[in-house]
Structure 1
Amino acid sequence: MALHAREGGLVMPNAWDGVSALILADAGFEAIGTSSAALAATLGRIDGRHSVTGEEHLDHAHLLGRLTGLPVNGDFEDGYGETPGDVAATVDSAVTRGLAGIGIEDTTGNPDGPIRDFDDAVSRVRSAVTAAKRRIVITARTDNFIQGRPDLDDTIRRLTAFAEVGADVLYAPFPPDLESLVAIVAAVAPTPINVLISPADQVLTVTELQKAGVKRISLGPALYTHAMGALEQAAKALLAGDTATATTGISFDRLSELLAREP
C-alpha cells in the first residue's frame, strides 16, 4: 500500500507473459499487474466468461513475480468463485502464491446479467477483505460503465460500500468523463482510486490524472493490444514481400539478456 499512499501514487502497467513483464521491470516500473483480457487472449479465449481458471491465472501471476521480483497485482475477474467463500479461498491462494494484490469485480461472467446485485457484490468484497487479513492489497471494482450501466450514483454507492467493508483500493473502469472521475475520487476519499488509462471521453496524461486525485493508473490489455497491432502491421508487410519491415523489433540477444537476469 505504500506505493498508493505516496505523493502521486504509481503507474502499474499490465504484462501478459514473461518477456513483457521483464521489459516493464527493466524500464523501471515498481509494480506490475496481470490483465485477465490479455491472459485470455494469449490462450485463445474470451475474457470475462470464466474461460480462464483461477489456477491458470495464479500460475501466470506467480511466473511474472518470480521473473521480475516485483509486486504483482492479479486482475482476478470476479474472484473465481460463485460464493463469497469461494472468493475468500481465491484470496488465500493468491497470498500463498506470493501476489501483492488482487482485484475482485462485481461481474458475473453472464452476458445476460453481467453485474451482480449490490448486496452480493458487497458480500464478496467483505469476504475477500476478511480472508486477506492485510496480507495482500484488495482492489474492489465495479464494472458498471463497461457493462452498459452508465449510472454514476450506483457506481459511487458500490465503491463507497466496498470501502466501508475494508477494500484497500477502488476501481471503476472508464468513467464517462473527467468530471465523473473527480466525483468518484471525492466521494470515496481517502481510499485510493485506480483508473484504467483515462476517462472514456479522452486520454489524459499521468500528471493530469494525478491532479484529479488518482492514486494508481493501470493499462489493462492496452500494452498487449499495442504489441498485437505492431504484429499485425508486420504480418501485412511480410505478405507484401517486405521482410525488412516485418523483422524490426528488439533483437534475440536482447531477449536472451532479459531472460538471463536474476530478479
Structure 2
Amino acid sequence: MDSNRRQLAERFVELHKEGCFLLPNAWDVGSAKVLEAAGFSALATTSAGVAFSLGRPDHDFFADAGGAGRVDRDTMLGRVREIAGGVSVPVSADLEDGYGEAPEVVAETITAALATGAAGGNVEDFTGERERPLYGQDLAVERIRAAREAVDRGGEPFVLVGRTDVLLVGGSLDECVRRANAYLAAGADCAFVPGAADAVTIGTLVRELDGPLNVVMGLTGNALGMAELRELGVRRVTVGGSIARAMYRRLVLAARELAESGTFSYAEDQMSQGELNSLFEK
C-alpha cells in the first residue's frame, strides 16, 4: 500500500472511533466519482451493484444451482481496485462471504483486498444455501479470526467488519446479538447487521453490542434519517445496492417507454453532457 492509500486507510480507521457517518455504496468508478463529488468522506462498494453492472445476479441462494451466475472473487476485487484507484477517499470493500467457506480462503480474500488498496472490508455469515443459510457460529467466528490474522499480517490499516445476516434469514435478535458480539471478540472492528431498520431494534443492538454498529438504510425507504440514527448511537450507515437499484429502475422505465410507447419523456430530467464531463474531468 502506497503512502497516500495508507493515509486514507488511517483516516478510515479514525472515522470508526466516534460519531456517526454515512458510507454510500458505489459499483463502478463513475458512481464512485459522483459520490465523492457530493462530499462523502469515504465510500463502500456494493457487490449487488457490481453484479448488476456485469449483467449478473447478486450473491443469493446460489448454492442450490452450484453457484451458477455468481461474480467470482477476482472479478469483484478487480472492480474494487478500479474504484479505490479512481477516487481520493477511503474505500471499503463488500467481500460477501469471503468467497469460500474455509477460514483459509477468507484470509486469502482479505489479503487480496488489502492489495487492491481497500481501507476496509466486510465478511458475512450468509452461505447461499437454503438448507443452511448461515455458517455455524463456531465456523463463522473462525472465519472472522482468520480474517483478523490476515489483516494483522498485512500490517496496514484496515477496518474489518463482521456481518451477520441473522435478521435477513428470519433469525432472532438474540442470536443476532450473540453472533455479532462473537465476531467482535474474534477481531472484527465493527459489526454489521442488515435488516435492523427500526428504532427499537437498532437501539437494542447499540446497547447490547460490544463494539460499533453498521446498519444499512435505503432498502425500503426507511423513515429513520441520519439525525435519528446518530441519536440512537449508530456508528456508520451504508445504503447497500439501493442507489444502483434506483438507477436501474430508471433504466427499466426508460426502456419500457421506448419499446412500448416510442416516446422520450424519460429524457426530460437527464443530466447534460457538459455537467457529466465537468464532473468526471475533476
Matched, 1:15 2:26: yes
Q: Give the distance between the partners of 1:251 and 1:233, measured in 2 at CA.
A: 19
Letter paired with 2:122: G
Q: How does 1:161-200 map to 2 (within 5 A)?
A: 161-175=182-196, 177-189=198-210, 191-197=211-217
Matched, 1:146 2:168: yes
Give yes or no for contact 1:181–1:199 (8 Å, CA) kept in 2: no
Q: Tell me by how many angstroms 1:184 deviates.
A: 1.0
Q: How does 1:4-153 map to 2 (within 5 A)?
A: 4-7=16-19, 9-48=20-59, 49=62, 51-133=70-152, 135-149=157-171, 151-153=172-174
Q: Tell me by how many angstroms 1:226 deviates.
A: 1.1
Question: What corresponds to 1:157 in structure 2?
Answer: 178
Length, aligned pairs only: 258
Question: What corresponds to 2:15 in structure 1?
Answer: 3
Secondary structure of the equivalent of 1:103? Answer: strand
Q: Give the distance between the partners of 1:85 and 1:222, measured in 2 at CA.
A: 31
Identity rate of aligned residues, in percent? 34
Secondary structure of the equivalent of 2:243? Answer: helix
Secondary structure of the equivalent of 2:161? Answer: strand
Question: What corresponds to 1:219 in structure 2?
Answer: 239
Give yes or no for contact 2:119–2:159 (8 Å, CA) kept in 1: yes
1:245/1:82 CA distance change after superposition, 3 Å: closer
1:178/1:80 CA distance change after superposition, 3 Å: same
Give yes or no for contact 1:196–1:217 (8 Å, CA) kept in 2: yes
TM-score (norm 2): 0.86
Question: What corresponds to 1:243 in structure 2?
Answer: 264
Root-mean-square deviation (CA, aligned residues, Å) is: 1.9
User: Could you list the runs of 4 or more consecutive aligned residues of structure 1 that deviate by over 4 angstroms after TM superposition?
Assistant: 198-202
Q: Which runs of 5+ in 1 are unaligned?
A: none
Secondary structure of the equivalent of 2:25? Answer: coil
Secondary structure of the equivalent of 1:185? Answer: helix
Q: Give the distance between the partners of 2:238 and 2:177, measured in 1 at CA.
A: 20
1:124/1:222 CA distance change after superposition, 3 Å: same
Stretch moving more, 252-261 or 47-56: 252-261
Give yes or no for contact 2:197–2:215 (8 Å, CA) kept in 1: no
- Write out per-residue CA displacement over residues 173-193 of structure 1, whole angstroms, 9 at most, x where no aligned residue: 01263212111111114x110
Letter paired with 1:193: L
Give yes or no for contact 1:234–1:247 (8 Å, CA) kept in 2: no
Secondary structure of the equivalent of 2:160? Answer: strand
Q: Give the distance between the partners of 2:21 and 2:274, measured in 1 at CA.
A: 31
1:122/1:256 CA distance change after superposition, 3 Å: same
Q: Tell me by how many angstroms 1:242 deviates.
A: 2.8
Q: Which runs of 5+ in 2 are unaligned?
A: 1-12
Q: Give the distance between the partners of 2:193 and 2:147, measured in 1 at CA.
A: 18
Q: Tell me by how many angstroms 1:145 deviates.
A: 1.1
Q: Tell me by how many angstroms 1:237 deviates.
A: 3.5
Give yes or no for contact 1:174–1:200 (8 Å, CA) kept in 2: no
